[in-house]
Amino acid sequence: MNIVIALDRSRHARAAIQLLQQLRWPTGSAFTFLHVLELVTITGGWQLHYHPELWKQFTAERRKMFAQAQRFLERLGTQLRPDDARPDVLVKWGLPLTGIVEALKKQQADLVVVGSRGLSGVRRFLLGSVSEGVLNSAPCSVLISRGRGRGASRERARGLRVLLAVDESEHALAAARWLRALGVPATSQVTVLHVVEPPGDRVSQLLNTTAPKFRETAQALIRVTKERGGQVLERVRKVVTHRGLTIHPLLVEGRPAEEIIRAAAQIHADLVILGSRGMTGLKGTFLGSVSRRVARHAPCSVLVVRNRRR
């Protein structure tokens, strides 16, 4: 597995390391720590060529920034698990989003890890502009890391609280397989959530009619929907049950994005995992509306899995 960890110097980026420390990656996984230094432009900067001393100071400062970024990534790299491969360090100049996406394509990354907000994050959103751009444009799965609370270090020994949100799509099964690949601690608790849509107006009308056969038909439709939901949960449970993980199936009725966000808050989840499409995601878009909404508003880290065929 090729993993690119795109970091800046914000606390949101450092929180990614805390999450990565708790995961066991597949044997042979390769890590690249990436930092994109935003280009510094000066109006009329070409004129510095006519002032050798100023140009020398300007280029020296650029070299200093580059070296500082390299040392920053190297220090963070030492914080990975001792049995993980030592990461490569990549510092480049450019626009953050463009630089990250270009690196992902060149590295043929399977996963990119980003902070939920970075130095250019927009404060009124839980998801920063660069992070959202990566979520929309990355050719691979995206792990958006949100920092845990002050009690995180004390709770670390308890493992992770993971919410796996699934439906009947192949993207949901891909998300379940990613949960296995991540190697969460055996002491973790996994809630497998499936959300069924509420009955439509026609079903509600049938339930309220005086004709017994109509009511029976409506009740049968509701029962079949819940039975299918239970089958979805059982199928996924078989995929993710391993190494003694505690699995809690959860079937709820409602709107998928809202119920996923609500469940993540109720179980105090550390990580939500879901597919990039499915769960009523629009087929014509690369990223489903549910996945985008959960990534924006979930109170914890979110892994959006893209089901790529190689």
What's the confidence (pLDDT) of residue 267? Answer: 95
3-state SS class at 292: helix
pTM: 0.81
Question: What is the side-by-side strand order in the sheet with 189-196?
Answer: 88-94, 30-38, 2-6, 111-115, 141-145, 301-305, 271-275, 161-166, 189-196, 246-253
Statement: residue 101 has pLDDT above 60: yes
Architecture of domain 1-147: 3-Layer(aba) Sandwich (3.40)
**10-24, 56-70, 229-243, 266-280: least confidently modelled range:** 10-24
Mean pLDDT over residues 224-244, rounded? 82
Per-residue confidence (pLDDT) for residue 124, from 0 to 100:
36
Same fold, 1-147 and 152-310: yes
Percentage of the chain surpassing pLDDT 70?
72
pLDDT band at 216 (very low <50, low <70, confident <90, very high): low
Joined tokens for residue 32: 């690249």
**By the 8 A CB rule, do 192 and 166 touch?**
yes
Q: What is the pLDDT of residue 141?
A: 94
**Which is nearest to 36 in space by CA: 114, 76, 109, 93?**
93
Q: Judge contact between 193 and 163, C-beta under 8 A.
A: yes
**Alpha-carbon span 293 to 254, nearest angstrom:** 15
Task: Kindly tell me the sign of the dihedral angle through the C-alpha atoms of 268, 271, 275, 277.
Answer: positive
Confidence of residue 122 (pLDDT cuts 50, 70, 90): very low
Taking residues 219-232, what's their average pLDDT?
A: 77
> In whole angstroms, how large is the CA radius of gyration of the chain?
23
pLDDT score of 139: 92
* Cα–Cα distance measured from residue 212 to residue 304, given in angstroms and rounded to the nearest whole number: 45
Q: Which CATH number applies to 152-310? A: 3.40.50.620
pLDDT above 70: residue 287 = no
Residue 258 identity: E
Ramachandran area for residue 244 (φ above 0: left; ψ -120 to 50: alpha; else beta)? left
* Chain mean position to CA 65: 29
Each domain of the chain, given as residue ranges in start order, spans 1-147, 152-310
User: Which two structure tokens, joined as six digits, stand for 202?
Assistant: 């026609």
The residue among 77, 83, 139, 130 whose CA lies nearest residue 111 is: 139
Predicted pLDDT of residue 206: 54
pLDDT at 284 over 70: no
Angle between helices 256-266 and 289-297 (to 10 degrees): 30
What average pLDDT does range 134-158 have in this prediction?
Answer: 72
How many Å from the N-terminal Cα to the C-terminal Cα in the chain?
Answer: 13
Work out the average pLDDT over 167-173.
86
